[in-house]
């Protein structure tokens, strides 16, 4: 191994792991590479329930792929029904803790009942396969119940993160032309109620496709119910039967759409389908998380993001796991909430983000040290590169030097983890996602598609389609084609820069496009810019990500104003609030800088690269020959030196 800081798996961990050695990993990897049809075909038959067998493993008509054509299956059936005839029937499926401290333990059998009842509610409202449901809920068990009820009937769901504003919610409902919105009165966050139904009311003023809105009562806060449109979940459910067979659906039936930020102001609806998605999320639960029957597994993400879809709901439930769900904030009521939960439920596998790790690290070791964390056996990280200092702390203070850390690289589009260590097999290097999963053929190339070679920085691309790959962008196949398959010919373009070291390990270096990563959440610079220019005082805006100690990047905005007299301090505050209102609180800019002009090319394009340099290094070193007015740049850079 070429790096001094290498952590091989312990003999003890390897001995019990699914994939116990580097040789075993290589054998699996080579098998998948040489004969993907046989590899994935055998896994699909063995790991999933089929109502009707598939007749083809995959059909690749670049850039469109189909997996397991001809087969009929159902994600909800695979996550629930098939466990009921096994010892899992009374096993806890969802272990839930609300922020106020309330708790629920829902067995597979009980979850199945809840899902069937709610599916019957949806049926009674006239919904059927092919319809679309928007789910805008707090982190309560009824959120996965709603997802699995949709999946049971073939209703495509789109979960919108509860932190998104009414504006953002409206755009998603409209793009999806959803027939129904499933929501709650609100949820708890840092002791305060996040009012969800109010946001739905605001959004629904301009959403003619929506016929019904079902409201789950979580907080008991006052909500406005519109007669004929709004219904209480508990009232509709009262008379619903507990029997609801899962509909056999095509392998390629659309399971969900999840919106994510692209390089334009308009979010992309990433479409995932049924069988391939479920197979790969199930397999990675075993390969990466080494999930065992007796494990208590906790992923701290919100189900509103892909991590929650794949690794709180579909992957864990399909694999028959006990999946823990926590409603609230990591620092409420104190900085030891995560560690308190780990101790209380004897969590074995813990999966979180570098942002959370850095934020908790800063509060000092006494918080985790107050708790018995000895149940932990494996730790995970996702969302952005984890810096070695945070990695070492996570390893030493949380894992007590005993637990492997799986740094998992993937994207909303990839559906499942593509690059990550198999913890019993692969020696770890802090900061590297290590090696690709079976069936994944990454490469690091230049813009002509030529491999750049060892230790050189280039674009990370994936050479072959994989089962949980996105199928298209909702109602925009052209954008799908251009965005993912049009940048470098013939391969999937990830939008990340990376390098590969002499051991074949991948090191992700960050995005190469105008996408920021704030606390592991993807945010487009254009989306924030469009929000800003909707404000009456703003003439123009340019937004860049600025390095931030805890959140990875922070939103930094350069704004020019329309003619007038402004109180810059008050306006700065107002604009930060404005963006939070237009997109969601997580997008609130850290900084608004007022400027007289923005640096532009002769053709009028804003040179974000220069702005990025200003906020990163406070100087400009790159090529500025296309810059129209160099004066603008020197002034901006100088301005920074003044503050
Ligand atoms: C982008 C995808 C996948 C779930 C969470 C984010 C970055 C993600 C890692 C990692 C380095 C990572 C990439 C990627 N990213 N995981 N382990 N190491 N970077 O999903 O919002 O679709 O964002 O997050 O830049 O492209 P997403």
Q: Which whole-number Å values give the CA distances from 146 to 53, 60, 121, 135, 316, in the listed order?
A: 27, 33, 10, 8, 17
Cα 477 to Cα 58: distance, rounded to the nearest angstrom? 19
Q: For the residues 341-363, what does the mean pLDDT come to?
A: 96
431 lines ligand 1 (CB under 6 A): no
- Ligand 1 site-directed mutation target among 493, 508, 518, 552, most atoms within 8 Å of CB: 508
pLDDT above 90 for 510 = no
409 lines ligand 1 (CB under 6 A): yes
pLDDT digits (tens, 9 = 90+) for 275-326: 999 999 999 999 999 999 999 999 999 999 999 999 999 999 999 999 999 9
Dihedral angle sign, alpha carbons of residues 398, 403, 407, 413: negative
Q: 336: CA distance to ligand 1 center in Å? A: 26
511 lines ligand 1 (CB under 6 A): yes
Q: Whose CA is nearest to atom 17 of ligand 1?
A: 409
Ordered by start, the domain boundaries in the chain are 114-248, 443-504, 515-642
412 lines ligand 1 (CB under 6 A): yes
Q: 417: CA distance to ligand 1 center in Å? A: 10
pLDDT above 70 for 403 = yes
> Closest ligand 1 atom to the C-alpha of 386?
18
Cα 426 to Cα 111: distance, rounded to the nearest angstrom? 36
Burial of 444 (0-12, 13-18, 19+ CB in 10 A): buried
| The CATH fold of domain 443-504 | Luciferase; domain 3 (2.30.38)
Distance separating the N- and C-terminal Cα atoms of the chain: 46
pLDDT above 70 for 630 = no
pLDDT band at 141 (very low <50, low <70, confident <90, very high): very high
pLDDT band at 642 (very low <50, low <70, confident <90, very high): very low
Crossing angle for the helix pair 22-34 and 36-47, nearest 10 degrees? 110
Q: 58: CA distance to ligand 1 center in Å? A: 26
Q: Whose CA is nearest to atom 13 of ligand 1?
A: 384
181 lines ligand 1 (CB under 6 A): no
Mean predicted lDDT score pLDDT of the chain: 94
Per residue in 173-190, is it b (16+ CB within 10 Å) or e — as a string?
bebbebbbbbbbbbbbbe
pLDDT of residue 513: 84
pLDDT above 70 for 640 = no
> Could you name the CATH architecture of 114-248?
3-Layer(aba) Sandwich (3.40)
Cα 309 to Cα 251: distance, rounded to the nearest angstrom? 18
pLDDT band at 149 (very low <50, low <70, confident <90, very high): very high
Q: Whose CA is nearest to atom 8 of ligand 1?
A: 383
Strand stretches in 190-245, DSSP E: 192-195, 212-216, 230-232
Percent of the chain with pLDDT over 90: 86
pLDDT digits (tens, 9 = 90+) for 241-264: 999 999 999 999 999 999 998 777
The kind and range of the H/E element at 19 are: none
pLDDT of residue 641: 47
Q: Which whole-number Å values give the CA distances from 191 to 99, 101, 143, in the listed order?
A: 8, 11, 20
pLDDT of residue 181: 98
- Ligand 1 site-directed mutation target among 383, 418, 505, most atoms within 8 Å of CB: 383
Q: 410: CA distance to ligand 1 center in Å? A: 5
411 lines ligand 1 (CB under 6 A): yes
189 lines ligand 1 (CB under 6 A): no
Cα 351 to Cα 297: distance, rounded to the nearest angstrom? 8
Q: 408: CA distance to ligand 1 center in Å? A: 8
pLDDT of residue 612: 86
Cα 164 to Cα 173: distance, rounded to the nearest angstrom? 12
* Global pTM value: 0.92
Which residue bears the tokens 């007015």? Answer: 629
pLDDT above 60 for 52 = yes
Cα 637 to Cα 556: distance, rounded to the nearest angstrom? 14
> Closest ligand 1 atom to the C-alpha of 420?
17
pLDDT digits (tens, 9 = 90+) for 456-502: 999 999 999 999 999 999 999 999 999 999 999 999 999 999 999 99
Q: Whose CA is nearest to atom 12 of ligand 1?
A: 384
The kind and range of the H/E element at 201 are: helix 196-204
pLDDT digits (tens, 9 = 90+) for 91-123: 999 999 999 999 999 999 999 999 999 999 999
Q: For the residues 354-370, what does the mean pLDDT come to?
A: 95
268 lines ligand 1 (CB under 6 A): no
613 lines ligand 1 (CB under 6 A): no
pLDDT of residue 643: 44
pLDDT of residue 622: 57
pLDDT band at 521 (very low <50, low <70, confident <90, very high): confident
Q: 436: CA distance to ligand 1 center in Å? A: 15
Q: The tokens of 328 are what?
A: 């609230």
Crossing angle for the helix pair 568-582 and 166-176, nearest 10 degrees? 30
- Nearest to 32, CA basis, from 378, 479, 467: 467
pLDDT above 70 for 1 = no
- H helices present in 348-501, as ranges: 354-361, 366-369, 388-393, 477-480
Q: Which CATH superfamily is domain 515-642 in?
A: ANL, C-terminal domain (3.30.300.30)
From the CA atom positions of the chain, what is the Rg in Å? 24
pLDDT band at 2 (very low <50, low <70, confident <90, very high): low
């Amino acid at each position: 191994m070429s790096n001094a800081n290498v952590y091989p798996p312990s003999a003890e961990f390897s001995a019990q792991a699914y994939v116990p050695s580097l040789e075993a990993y290589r054998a699996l990897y080579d098998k998948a590479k040489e004969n993907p049809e046989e590899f994935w075909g055998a896994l699909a038959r063995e790991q999933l329930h089929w109502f009707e067998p598939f007749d083809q493993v995959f059909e690749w008509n670049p850039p469109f792929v189909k997996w397991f054509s001809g087969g009929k299956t159902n994600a909800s059936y695979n996550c629930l029904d098939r466990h009921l005839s096994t010892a899992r029937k009374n096993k806890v499926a969802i272990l839930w803790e609300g922020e106020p401290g309330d708790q629920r333990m829902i067995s597979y059998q009980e979850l199945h009942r809840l899902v069937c009842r709610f599916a019957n509610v949806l049926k009674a409202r006239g919904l059927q396969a092919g319809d679309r449901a928007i789910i805008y809920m707090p982190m309560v068990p009824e959120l996965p119940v709603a997802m699995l009820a949709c999946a049971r009937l073939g209703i495509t769901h789109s979960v919108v993160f509860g932190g998104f504003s009414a504006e953002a919610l409206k755009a998603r409902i409209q793009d999806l032309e959803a027939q129904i919105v499933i929501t709650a009165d609100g949820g708890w966050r840092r002791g305060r109620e996040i009012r969800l139904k109010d946001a739905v009311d605001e959004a629904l003023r301009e959403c003619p496709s929506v016929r019904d809105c079902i409201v789950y009562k979580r907080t008991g806060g006052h909500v406005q119910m519109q007669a004929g449109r709004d219904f209480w979940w508990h009232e509709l459910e009262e008379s619903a039967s507990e029997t609801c067979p899962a509909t056999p659906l095509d392998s390629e039936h659309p399971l969900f759409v999840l919106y994510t930020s692209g390089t334009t102001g308009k979010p992309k609806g990433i479409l995932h389908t049924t069988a391939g998605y479920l197979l790969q999320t199930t397999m990675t639960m075993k390969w990466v998380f080494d999930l065992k029957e007796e494990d208590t597994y906790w992923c701290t993400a919100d189900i509103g993001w892909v991590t929650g879809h794949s690794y709180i709901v579909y992957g864990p439930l399909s694999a028959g796991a006990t999946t823990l769900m926590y409603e609230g904030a990591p620092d409420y009521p104190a900085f030891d909430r995560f560690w308190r939960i780990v101790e209380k439920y004897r969590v074995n596998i813990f999966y979180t983000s570098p942002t959370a790790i850095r934020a908790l690290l800063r509060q000092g070791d006494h918080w985790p040290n107050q708790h018995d964390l000895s149940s932990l056996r494996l730790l995970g990280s996702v969302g952005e590169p984890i810096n070695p200092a945070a990695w070492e702390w996570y390893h030493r203070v949380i894992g007590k030097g005993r637990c492997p850390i799986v740094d998992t690289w993937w994207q909303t589009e990839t559906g499942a983890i593509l690059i990550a260590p198999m913890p019993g097999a692969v020696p770890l290097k802090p900061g590297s996602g290590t090696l690709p999963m079976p069936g994944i053929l990454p490469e690091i190339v230049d813009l002509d598609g030529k491999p750049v070679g060892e230790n050189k920085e280039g674009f990370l691309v994936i050479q072959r389609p994989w089962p949980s790959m996105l199928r298209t962008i909702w109602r925009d196949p052209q954008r799908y084609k251009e965005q993912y398959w049009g940048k470098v010919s013939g391969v999937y373009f990830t939008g990340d820069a990376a390098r590969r070291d002499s051991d074949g390990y991948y090191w992700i270096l960050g995005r190469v496009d105008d996408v920021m990563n704030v606390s592991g959440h993807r945010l487009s610079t254009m989306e924030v810019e469009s929000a800003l220019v909707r404000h009456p005082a703003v003439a123009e805006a340019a937004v860049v990500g600025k390095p931030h100690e805890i959140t990875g990047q922070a939103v930094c905005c350069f704004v020019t104003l329309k003619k007038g007299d402004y109180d810059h301090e008050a306006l700065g505050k107002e604009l930060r609030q404005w963006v939070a209102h237009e997109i969601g609180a997580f997008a609130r800019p850290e900084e608004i800088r007022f400027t007289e002009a923005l640096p532009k090319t002769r053709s009028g394009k804003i040179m974000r690269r220069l702005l990025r340099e200003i906020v990163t290094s406070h100087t400009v070193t790159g090529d500025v020959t296309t810059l129209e007015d160099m004066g603008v740049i020197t002034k901006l850079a100088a301005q920074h030196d003044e503050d």
